[in-house]
Structure 1
Amino acid sequence: MFKTIKNAWSIPDLRQKMLFTLFIIVVFRFGAAIPVPFLNTDALKGLMTEVGKTGTALSYLDMLSGGAFANATLFAMSVTPYINSSIVIQLLTVAIPALERMAREGEEGRKRLGAITRYVAIVLALIQGTSYYFYLRNSSYQGTPIAEYTHGWQAVFAAFVIIMTFTAGAALMMWLGEQVNQFGIGNGISILLFAGIVARMPHTIQTLGTFWQAASQDPTSFGKYYFLVPMFAVLFLVIVWVIVFMYDAERRIPVQYAKRVVGRKMYGGQSSHIPIKIGMSGVMPIIFASSILVIPSTIQLFMGDRVATGFWRSFFDAFSSTGWLYSFLYFLLIILFAYFYMTIQYNPIEMANNLRQSNGTIPGIRPGKSTSDYIARVLSKVTFIGSLFLAFIALMPIIFGATTGMSNLSVGGTSILILVGVALETVKQMESQMMMRHYKGFLD
């Protein structure tokens, strides 16, 4: 990977794209440090430090924004409104015929879908920013209110400014991502997510240092963190290796094309294959599953002291990020959403029809329904293996934190998948662009 980056840097055109991408990342980090007005930042930091230990949706958003959400900065909403909008439009494309026809209209249809996605993202950012403001307005830390104005016309003006700032920040991040797509290297939204997660790494290293110091200061720990801290580093490297290995793994369905004579020439007769990625769904099943499972803990956050005892206490403890029920449901939902995402991405009947129209057959399989059934069985097996891989990546940090007590490291399976996936995709894009520039063609 480093050799690829070095070779890309030596090409002036690619070097300019890499510098532009770096500039966008710097702008993003500056925006993530500019606080929104009319909020008590010291009290907010104290409040979000406590919230970050509960595993709610707010801590999940803070992880994706690189700490900007906890500090209520310009880019507090990060790219989550755009991601949610993309997921919603993608699902609706399957359910609504008008959107499905639009997706099949080529480049023009994709542009129209992109515009719809951006408009929906602005609406979601407005809703999300409004919810975040009212949460901050009704919250306090050790008796100190988070919002500076809560009554009168000043509170109305402050609410308008804060909500519009959050919404404008989300819109600006969408624009920055599109600029990376047009003038930079890699996928813009993914690059911004990558930068936000990397920005949380110093906090993770600081937390590991705290555990290391606790081993020498706390005699009751018997120095267990001297073993657990290096074990966490090794586990992190193992997960990265597994992701890299599974990222390129694929199941190849062999295809044989029949020979046909056109005039005096013979066409076809060659063998090929249909590649099916093991990790075809990427990080989406984990995002879907975690988005559903953080709902109980988020409700608990808004209910406050009313859930301190009784049935609701036991209920919310079972759905906490360290509870056994949370891990079990997390495992099941990842598998279910992996199959759901597979049904969106692949249509075995359409694939079988395309093979028949191009005079292609799978050796040993009759064309038509037999081919579609065979492809469906292969997709089901590959999806099951891929879902188990995703469940392993998602649950391993949770199990490690629950068994060792090191549960506040802010590095989960989602963040590791995003880091490794974006890095591999960006390097592949660099390699393809370098290959395109060095290919001489048949006339040279």
Structure 2
Amino acid sequence: MKRSAWRYLWTSVDIRKKILITIGILILYRFAANIPVPGINRDVIASIFQQQSPASSLLGVFDMLSGGTLSNFSILAMGVYPYITAQIIIQLLVPIIPSLQRRMEENPKEGRKLMEKWTVLLTIPMGTLSALGQIQLFNQLTSSGSILNYTFGLSNGNAIPTLTTVVSMVGGTMLGIWLGELISEYGIPNQGLSLIIFAGIVSRIPSNLYSIIISGQSVVLLLILMAVILALTIFVIIYVQQGRRNVPVLFPGRRVGNRMSMPVKSNLPLMINLAGMIPLIFAQTILSLPGIIAQFFINSNTTWLANMAAWMQNTFNSGSVWYVVIYFIFVMLLTFFYTEVLFEQQNYGENLKRQGAQIPGVVRGIATQNYLNRVQRRITLVGALFLAVVATIPYVFGLILPANIGKSIFLVSASGLIIVVGVVRDTFNIIETEMKLHGYDEKLIKG
């Protein structure tokens, strides 16, 4: 009788050690997530998150990415978001700065190390600006004037408390990045930051589930509806995320002694959704800005300015139909934009030319890159529609169902669900690879 190789997870000292280290670091991260920033007033923070405004909606996105640490305003209030922002900025700068692009093309390995180094260095100023921005934004949203127990600033003897608050927030972000690196090095390989974000997202599930149970509605019916919607959404996410368009590639034969081997036929897999969940976060951020700006002019003495500010707040409120429509369009546009940037960095045309490979019927070099660009844009249309639908479904249910349960029905947000599914899938793939390296047959692993 064959036993599943998954039993090996707990009998292998090496694999069990990696899993336990990963779990231990994630528990440590969640403990650190409850350490408050010095001088913070949590009651004022709680009142801000109870508001119905574009700014609180934007803060909800960041709170999701940080795993609820923003609503607690802990030292991990920014999560690893400044690092992700720095990573995106560096990626966007590569095709713009010729020296960086040349470095990546000449020596990809050294180029990646350089990018990682600059990403970490850029995280510090990005974290500082983010900390200052968060505190100022929260202060603007509270009626009490400040979320801190002192006046934020460098004057009137408040320099040391202010610096302590900012340094603790930036230090919390660097702590989260360090813990992620520890997971990648000693735990599950290459999954550190992904698992850090994953742990934060799933930590919100119990509270959302509790909101449904105490809603006073038909709890059993809502739980069944929630299970069906989640199952269908997860199925679609996995189906699309795994989707590939295999472009045939012909690699030249090699000379072995006096013989020439036959050309090798292979495929170049192009992802349907290359952008991941980044367009969702960017779209929510951009759509929240008009409402935030409008708050400063809503009480203006100029009539037309006050009316415009009121219109902006109503239009860009997450509870309006127009917000859902604009959000849908923005997600699609940003998916195309971000995919274009990432795909250009791959430079498949030049790389295939260097290897002597060719797509049948397509000239090497620029013609190959242009052909692949056209193929990628066509399949990106499917990925963009997928992201836009998944992103707006929670808002559609928020319009249909009662406000207290409309968005809780998904347990996590759309971008959070994509992250959770992706991280779980990648983690299982890595564990399977580890088990194969330890000599277990693929048929036993898959049961």
User: Which range moves more in the overlay, 47-56 or 153-162?
Assistant: 47-56
Q: Closer, same or farther in 2 for the Cα pair 1:359/1:154, shift >3 Å?
A: closer
Matched, 1:87 2:91: no
Q: Closer, same or farther in 2 for the Cα pair 1:116/1:304, shift >3 Å?
A: farther
In the other structure, the counterpart of 2:161 is 158
In the other structure, the counterpart of 1:399 is 396
Matched, 1:234 2:228: yes
Residue 95 of structure 2 aligns to a residue whose secondary structure is helix
Fraction of identical pairs, as percent = 30
Residue 232 of structure 1 aligns to a residue whose secondary structure is helix
Deviations 1:349-385 (A, max 9, x none): 9434444554444345455665444323211111111
Counterpart-to-counterpart distance in 1, 2:271 and 2:209: 33
User: Which range moves more in the overlay, 40-49 or 243-252?
Assistant: 40-49
Query: How many Å apart are 1:331 and its aligned residue?
Result: 2.1
In the other structure, the counterpart of 2:282 is 288
Match of 2:387 among 387, 390, 405: 390
Give the gaps of 5 or more residues in structure 2: 442-447
In the other structure, the counterpart of 2:210 is 206
Counterpart-to-counterpart distance in 2, 1:407 and 1:77: 26
Paired residue type of 2:264: Q
User: Which range moves more in the overlay, 192-201 or 90-99?
Assistant: 90-99
Residue 36 of structure 2 aligns to a residue whose secondary structure is coil
Residue 438 of structure 2 aligns to a residue whose secondary structure is helix
Q: Closer, same or farther in 2 for the Cα pair 1:135/1:427, shift >3 Å?
A: same
Cα RMSD, aligned residues only: 2.9
Query: How many Å apart are 1:4 and its aligned residue?
Result: 7.5
Match of 1:109 among 99, 108, 111: 111
Counterpart-to-counterpart distance in 1, 2:112 and 2:374: 31
Query: How many Å apart are 1:301 and its aligned residue?
Result: 5.3
Residue 246 of structure 2 aligns to a residue whose secondary structure is strand
Paired residue type of 1:243: I
In the other structure, the counterpart of 1:413 is 414
Matched, 1:67 2:64: no
In the other structure, the counterpart of 2:445 is none
In the other structure, the counterpart of 1:337 is 334
Query: How many Å apart are 1:12 and its aligned residue?
Result: 1.5
Deviations 1:42-100 (A, max 9, x none): 23223323368865321111111111111111111101100100000110111112222
In the other structure, the counterpart of 2:265 is 271
Counterpart-to-counterpart distance in 1, 2:366 and 2:168: 55
Query: How many Å apart are 1:15 and its aligned residue?
Result: 1.4
Q: Closer, same or farther in 2 for the Cα pair 1:418/1:260, shift >3 Å?
A: closer
Deviations 1:325-368 (A, max 9, x none): 32222222222222222222334994344445544443454556
In the other structure, the counterpart of 1:119 is 121
- Contact 1:4-1:431 at 8 Å conserved across structures: no
- Contact 1:56-1:298 at 8 Å conserved across structures: no
Q: Closer, same or farther in 2 for the Cα pair 1:349/1:317, shift >3 Å?
A: closer
- Contact 1:137-1:150 at 8 Å conserved across structures: no
TM-score (norm 2): 0.86
Counterpart-to-counterpart distance in 1, 2:252 and 2:160: 71
User: Which range moves more in the overlay, 402-411 or 60-69?
Assistant: 402-411
Q: Closer, same or farther in 2 for the Cα pair 1:349/1:145, shift >3 Å?
A: closer
Q: Closer, same or farther in 2 for the Cα pair 1:8/1:97, shift >3 Å?
A: farther
Counterpart-to-counterpart distance in 1, 2:160 and 2:428: 47
Alignment of 1:310-325 (within 5 A): 310-325=307-322
Residue 95 of structure 1 aligns to a residue whose secondary structure is coil
